[in-house]
A and B are shown apart, each in its own frame.
Chain A
Amino acid sequence: MSRPVLEIRNLSVPLPRGADRGYAIEDLSLTVAPGEIVCVVGESGSGKSVTAGAVMGLLPPVLKPSAGQILLEGEDLLKAGPARMRRLRGGRMAMVFQEPMTALNPALRVGDQVAEMLEAHAGRLGRGARRDKVRQLLADVHLPNPESLARAYPHQLSGGQRQRVMIAMALANDPALIIADEPTTALDVTTQAQILKLMRELQARREAGILFITHDFGVVSEIADRVVVMRTGRLVEEGPAESVLCRPQDPYTRMLIAAVPRAEPPPPRARPSLVSPVLATRDLTKNYGGRGLFGGGRPVQALDGISIALQPGETLGIVGESGSGKSTLARCIARFVDPTAGHVRIGGDDIALLPARALHPYRRRIQVIFQDPYRSLNPRRTVGQSIVEGPMNYGLSREAATARAKNLIALVGLDAGALARYPHAFSGGQRQRIAIARALAMEPDVLIADEAVSALDVSVQRQVLELLEAIRERLNLAILFITHDLRVAARLCDRLIVMLDGRIVEEGATAALFADPKHAYTRALFAAAPVMKAPPVEAVP
C-alpha cells in the first residue's frame, strides 16, 4: 500500500474546563489510504465531527489539539501556519458538509461558489478556463444542464442537487483527501442512495481518500472500505468494513449495530377489533399559494384527497420523502393549518373546517410530538410547567395536574426531579421523553408523532421506540406515526400508508407491504433504504 493521504497519530483535543469529560478526542490514531473510504461511526458526542474539524483546521478557538500529529500526505497540519492551512484547505483537502440547505451561500450563484474554489487556489486559470472547469465539474457530478444550473441560486435547487454542487466544489482542485461529514443524513433515502453511488464512482475515478463521517451503519455497509468506531472521543474498534459489520468485537459496536432498525417488520400484533375509528379523514385536501393580494405564486396541492382511518390502539405509519405531504397531513389533522376541503372526524365530529374558537374541546384529543426535541420545548419554562400547562388549560387543578405530571414522568422513565429542571439540562432522547409525557398529560385519543425519532441517535431512537410501544399497549393509544424511514416504520406500525406528491400510493398491513410492495415508488423506497447486509448481531446488555 502506498503512503496514506491522511495519518492521525495519537491526537488529543481537550475540552474546555467544566465540560462533562476531559477530552473531545483522546489518543486517536487512524489512517486513510489513497482511494480508500474510511467511515468514522459514532453517536452524537463521540468526537467524530471534532476529528474532521481538527484535520481541516476549522475547530472553534476553544478547542486546541494538545498532543499528536495530523499528517496530510506526510505534512504535519498541526505545525502549519494559517496561510499554509488556507492553501491546503480546498487545495489538498476538501470537505462536504451535512446540511446542503445551509452549507451553500444563499446570495451567490452556485457556479460562482464552485469557481471560488478555483480562484482561491488555481489563480492562474483565466476566466474562460474557469468557466469551462466549473461546467465540467457540474457535469461530473451528473447535474443536468450544467450551463444554466451554474447560474442558479441554491434555493432554486433540490437538496440532492445542492449536495452534488457541494461535491463538485470539493473535487474542484483534485484534493488528496475529502472529508464528508454526514453528507447524506439530511437527504431523502432515494437521494441518499444516488449521492452514495456518486461518491463511490468519483472516488474510484480520482483515487482520493475519503474520510466519511456517519452515524448510520446502513450507510456504512453501503460505502465503507474500512470502519472506525468512536465513542466519547476514543476509538473503540477499527477494521475492514466486512469484519466490523459481521464480527464486531467491541460490545459498544455490537450494541450500535443491533440498534439499527432492520427493515423487517415484527410479527403482527393481535389486531385491535374493528370498532368505530377514533380518527378518520375523507378526501382531505390542502392547497398552498395561488391566492393573496397580488395573486403571486403557483398553487401547490400539498394534499390531494387523503382518506385514512385510525382505530383505537392502532399505530398507522405515514411514510414518504420530503414534499410528499406527510407533515401537511399531520398539521391539517391537528388543525395547525386549515384544510382547503374534506373531512377530519374525531369520534363522530367533523373538525376539518371548524373555526378556531370551536376547536378548543377537540385540541386536547389530538396531541403531537415534534421532530426536534431541542426546539419544541420552551427553554424558559421548567419541564413541570410545560407538562401541567395543557391539563390546567382544560380545567384540571394545579395539584391534580402536578400529580399527573409525576406519574407520566415516571412512565417515560425519568425521575420526579426532572419536573423542576429546564429543558437544556436534558439530552435529546430525554427531551423527547419529556415531549411524550407532555402530550400524554392531555389524555389524548390520538398521538401524532411527526418524525419524532428522526433526530435521535440509533441507540436512543431504539429506546424511544420501545417507550412508545410500551405506552400504546398500556393506554390503548392510537398513534399516527409519520416518518421518512421505512426501517423505523417497520418496527412500530401495524399498517402503513406510503405518500407521494400529496397522494396515497400504497396502503396495507406492514408485513404484507414489506413482503410484496405493489407500487413502483414503494419498491424504489425499499431499494434505496440503506440496509444492513450483515446478519443481525445479538445485543450485549
Chain B
Amino acid sequence: MGRFILGRLAATLPVMGVVAVIVFLLLRLAPGDPAAILAGDAATPEQIAAIRARLGLDQPMLEQFATWIWRLVHGDLGTSIISNQPVGRLILDRIEPTLALATSTILFAVLVAVPLGVLAAWRHGTWVDRAVMGLSVAGFSVPVFVLGYLLIFGFSMQLRWLPVQGYVSIADGLWPFLSRLILPTLTLSVIYIALIARTTRSSVLEVLGEDYIRTARAKGVTEARVLRRHALRNAAIPVISVIGLGIALLISGVVVTESVFNLPGLGRLTVDAVLARDYPVIQGVILLFSALYVLVNLSIDLSYLLFDPRIRY
C-alpha cells in the first residue's frame, strides 16, 4: 500500500506539470494586459512599455515560463503584479476563511445528507422519501447567489439574528467566528446536501435489496442496526466518491459564496486577481487548487480501504 501511495504521489507530478503549462498558456492567450491595467487609463504607451519591461512581460513566452517554473521548483510562487507581495504570503493570508467555509460546508452537508438519504431509502416510496427527494431537486435548482441573498434578507435583515457579511477569525472568539459562517455554510451546502442525499438514497436502496440484509433481518437484528451496521457501510463507497467530488467542486462554489458574503478568502483573491490580470497570483492559486484536488482524490481512494475489505492496493 505504501507503494501505491508513493506511486500515486509521483503520478501527481506530471499532472501538476500539465496544469502549470495550460494555466500559463491560457492566461497569456486571454485578452487583457496587466501592464495596461496597472498603468491606468491615462498612461502613455511608453509608460506601459516600461511597466511591461519591469514585470518581465516583454520577454519571450518560453523564457517567462522557464523563469516561473525555475522559481516554482525552488518553492517561490512569484510576486503579485498588483500588490507587490509574494503570492505565497497572499495565499496564506486568505486561506483561513476558505478553509473554514469549506470544512463547515462539507461537515454540515454530510451530517444532514447521509441520514436524510438513509431515511429516504428505508422509507422508500412513502411521503418521507418523496419529501426528501423533492427537497433535493429544489436544492439542485436554486442558484447559490439567490439563496445567499434570500438567507441574508431573512436571517440578517428581517430577524436580525446573524450578521449580514464579513469574517472574524476563530482566534477572535468562537461565536463571532461561527455566527458569520452559518449563512455562507447553509448557502453553499444546500447543493451538496441534495447531491449527497440522492446518492446515499440510491446506494442504500440498492444495498437493502441484497441477500445479506435479509440474512441480518433473519438474525433478529434491529432495523436501526441493519441500517447502520449492514447497509450503510456497504453503501458507503458511492457516497464517499460523491463527497470527494463535492470537495473538488467546492472550489468553484467558494468563489461565488465568498463574494456574496464578503469573506476575504481564496475565492475573493482569485476573482480579484483575474479581474486585474494578476498572472502570478492566478497561477499560484490554480496550482494550489489542483494539488489539493489530487490529494483529495488520493485520500478518497485510500478511504475505500476502510469500507470494503475486498479492495487492496
Binding site for B on A (CB under 8 A): 56, 58, 85-91, 94-95, 97, 99, 102-108, 116-117, 120-121, 153, 155, 166, 169, 294, 296
Contacts and interface: CB of A to CB of B under 8 A. Distances in A.
Interface on chain B toward A: helix, strand, loop, or mixed SS? helix
Contact of A106 (B3, B4, B212, B219): B212
A58 B213 CA distance: 11
B220 A88 contact: yes
Contacts of A107: 233-234, 307-309
B95 to A, nearest CB: 35
Interface in B187-242: 210-212, 214-222, 225, 229-230, 233-234
A94 B308 CA distance: 27
B218 A120 contact: no
Contact of B234 (A95, A106, A169): A106
B307 A169 contact: no
A120 B221 contact: yes
A91 B220 contact: yes
Contacts of B308: 106-107
A90 B309 contact: no
B217 A106 contact: no
11 contacts: A86-B221, A97-B211, A97-B215, A99-B211, A102-B210, A102-B212, A104-B212, A107-B309, A108-B230, A117-B219, A294-B3
Given A153-B309, A153-B310, A105 B219 contact: no
B247 to A, nearest CB: 24
Contact of B217 (A89, A108, A166): A89
Given A89-B217, A90-B220, A294 B212 contact: no
Nearest to A179: B218
A89 B218 contact: yes
A58 B214 contact: yes
Given A89-B220, A120-B219, A106 B214 contact: no
* Central interface residue in A104, A107, A169, by most chain B CB within 10 Å: A107
B7 interface: yes
* Central interface residue in A56, A58, A116, by most chain B CB within 10 Å: A116
Contacts of B218: 56, 58, 89-90, 94-95, 97
Contacts of A87: 220
Contacts of B210: 102
A113 B84 CA distance: 63
A166 B215 CA distance: 9
A106 B220 contact: no
Contacts of A90: 218-221
Contact of B219 (A102, A153, A169): A169
B215 A89 contact: no
A99 B213 CA distance: 13
B220 A121 contact: yes
Closest 4 CB pairs of A and B: A90-B220, A89-B220, A102-B211, A90-B219
B219 to A, nearest CB: 4
B214 A86 contact: no
A117 B217 CA distance: 11
A35 B309 CA distance: 39
Interface in B143-185: none
B220 A103 contact: no
A87 B310 CA distance: 32
B3 to A, nearest CB: 7
Contacts of B309: 106-107, 153, 155
A120 B217 CA distance: 11
A120 B308 CA distance: 24
A155 B210 CA distance: 16
B271 to A, nearest CB: 41
Contacts of B221: 86, 90, 116, 120
Nearest to B216: A105
Nearest to A104: B212
Contacts of A108: 229-230, 233
A152 B216 CA distance: 18
A161 B3 CA distance: 33
A166 B218 CA distance: 11
A108 to B, nearest CB: 8
Contacts of A103: 211-212, 214-215
Contacts of A104: 212, 215
A116 B230 CA distance: 11
B34 to A, nearest CB: 43
A294 B211 contact: no
A56 B220 CA distance: 10
A296 B220 CA distance: 41
A186 to B, nearest CB: 11
A147 to B, nearest CB: 18
A532 to B, nearest CB: 30
A116 B219 contact: yes
A155 B234 CA distance: 14
Nearest to A102: B211
Contacts of B217: 58, 89
Contacts of A106: 212, 234, 308-310
* Central interface residue in A89, A97, A99, A103, by most chain B CB within 10 Å: A103
B243 to A, nearest CB: 18
Contacts of A91: 220
Contacts of B312: 296
Contacts of A155: 309-310
Nearest to A293: B7
Contacts of B215: 95, 97, 103-105, 166
Interface string B274-294: 000000000000000000000
B9 to A, nearest CB: 14
Nearest to B236: A107
A117 B225 CA distance: 12
B196 to A, nearest CB: 20
Nearest to A86: B220
B193 to A, nearest CB: 25
B297 to A, nearest CB: 17
A105 B215 CA distance: 9
A88 B220 CA distance: 7
Contacts of B225: 120
B138 to A, nearest CB: 29
A95 B212 CA distance: 12
Nearest to B232: A107
Contacts of B229: 108, 116
B8 to A, nearest CB: 11
Given A90-B219, A104-B215, A108-B233, 15 more contacts: A58-B218, A87-B220, A89-B219, A89-B220, A91-B220, A95-B215, A104-B212, A106-B234, A107-B234, A107-B309, A108-B229, A116-B221, A117-B219, A120-B219, A166-B215
